[in-house]
Structure 1
């Protein structure tokens, strides 16, 4: 019994030797599922942006997504896992001879750009709305929360389709689609701020004459970082699915550009005759969304104050 108590005291002493940021980092690094997802997600990003290049930077893959090439057989994938060969067209070719690996990589680039842009902008909007509503209360909270309720009531897909049709293009979608994805975070941040604004250190800061902006930025915002970081990952996953859905319905990215959703939409009728045209972009979407959600789960567990010590 004495040895158990000594061991518990050693563990507590070790935890006290780390700062809060160090404890969060240790918990996340020991979350095996989240770390595995982070590695896969990093590999997917590197593969997408280095294979066919980005902008003026060339890639290591010898084919581009816009050119057509002589058909190899029926255009089926040339990759073979049994003999570990990649072949000339590892993901096969589409109906007119384009290299499908290059097309999928281009689609991943566009989808990731849109998803990260939407995730970051929607997080900023939700954070600002939640901070202002929770801190000022009164009519400010009433107006912002009624606006939040209005956006929640309007069907997300319908609202997003209208906005994306009005904006058009990758940049337009990235700028307008965050207007439908910020509501959940705004409510979460508001709840955190309502509890933080009554804490002694916040009251002391206001009494000492600190401005509202300083109180919000220096004393309240750091207390909501956990919620915000987790929300970014969830927003990125939701943005990937929303962009793919809108593009599939004809309200998103349009030719000559491409995205994962557009590839699925273009080749949905080829599912029975050329299934690889449907499966590869579908697997890319599934991989990205699962990885982002698993990373979000790991961040949530790392920021959870009830987690006293990670398991090895």
Structure 2
């Protein structure tokens, strides 16, 4: 009996045969909710970009989001799930006869472009501020953390609305909205760096004469990758909601283009008479945000260092 108790755990032996990157991938792909969300998210993005095309690349859908077409009835959706049929306008038509499927696909394209741009830029800013504040400490940390506190104190929606009104356009929103979404990551990265900078291997590298840049990129940043990757997914979800809210309030994407929030804003008064004009972009926002958040949960669990073994 004592010999059995002293036998090493088979799972631990199995884990030692994998690199850290392989263990992370194994944990993520065993997270069923994250994988399901990833498939759904990829399906939505693929549908949006292949259906109506993007840039010079044409799509397989024969309707254009800017053209008007003869109204069919009251513009109701022709999509039927009982006897599956797409019909002429699966998502219906808007009040002037535009194909609503094409409009929603265009809205998804614009919202995803803005959200991914905001997520990446805000992650870069937050990582940069957090690393500099945590590694150098002193007056650099004081200045950067006071700046972080100032941005946190200002109401996010008000700050974003002012910036959105000043610049406007898809590119402008993508560039300026990250200025209000980086603070949370900066605090998280700073905390990680404060812990990592005191590790023995970092102190040994410093004693060996390694430069600050080498220490940061070779020894500090790799230890914060998990926090950064998860933060990107959360920032993308938050950016979609923020962009949708700003467009709904009239401070986001201009009416010459479209986005999911702008579609909801334009047709909010038709909710009781033409509910499909509200529900389809609303369901698209809900699907994208939930998918991104579940993917973030899966990445967080995969990078969690407390999970020392893969679960079968």
Q: Same fold (TM over 0.5)?
A: yes
Matches of residues 158-177 of structure 1 in structure 2 within 5 Å? 158-177=158-177
Q: CA deviation at 1:309?
A: 2.7
Distance 2:234 2:80 in 1: 35
1:102 aligns with 2:102: yes
1:69 aligns with 2:69: yes
Q: 2:118 maps to which residue?
A: 118
Matches of residues 143-162 of structure 1 in structure 2 within 5 Å? 143-162=143-162
* TM-score, length-scaled by structure 1: 0.98
In the comparison of the two structures, how many residue pairs are matched?
312
Deviations 1:128-187 (A, max 9, x none): 000000000000000000000000000000000011111110000000000000000000
Provide structure 2 residue ranges, at least 5 long, that are not aligned to the other structure.
none
* TM-score, length-scaled by structure 2: 0.98
The answer as to whether partners of 2:24 and 2:302 remain within 8 angstroms in 1 is: yes
1:221 aligns with 2:217: no
Q: 1:81 maps to which residue?
A: 81
Q: 1:233 maps to which residue?
A: 233
| Structure 1 outlier segments of 4+, above 3 Å | 1-8
Q: CA deviation at 1:8?
A: 5.3
Q: 1:12 maps to which residue?
A: 12
Q: CA deviation at 1:310?
A: 3.4
1:262 aligns with 2:262: yes
Q: CA deviation at 1:311?
A: 2.9
Q: CA deviation at 1:12?
A: 1.0
2:9 aligned counterpart, secondary structure: helix
Q: Do the aligned partners of residues 64 and 214 (structure 1) sit closer, same or farther apart at CA in structure 2, a change above 3 Å counting? A: same
Distance 2:86 2:3 in 1: 58
Distance 1:56 1:88 in 2: 24
Q: 1:208 maps to which residue?
A: 208
Q: CA deviation at 1:4?
A: 6.7
Distance 2:5 2:54 in 1: 58
Deviations 1:24-69 (A, max 9, x none): 0000000000000000000011001000000000000000100000
Distance 1:63 1:289 in 2: 27
Deviations 1:184-243 (A, max 9, x none): 000000000000000011011111111111110111000000000000000000000000
1:60 aligned counterpart, secondary structure: coil
Q: Do the aligned partners of residues 60 and 179 (structure 1) sit closer, same or farther apart at CA in structure 2, a change above 3 Å counting? A: same
Provide structure 1 residue ranges, at least 5 long, that are not aligned to the other structure.
none
Distance 2:155 2:79 in 1: 42
Distance 1:70 1:123 in 2: 46
Distance 2:167 2:278 in 1: 28
Deviations 1:256-286 (A, max 9, x none): 2000000000000000000000000000000
The answer as to whether partners of 2:193 and 2:220 remain within 8 angstroms in 1 is: yes
Distance 1:10 1:260 in 2: 50
Distance 1:2 1:279 in 2: 64
Pairwise CA RMSD: 1.2
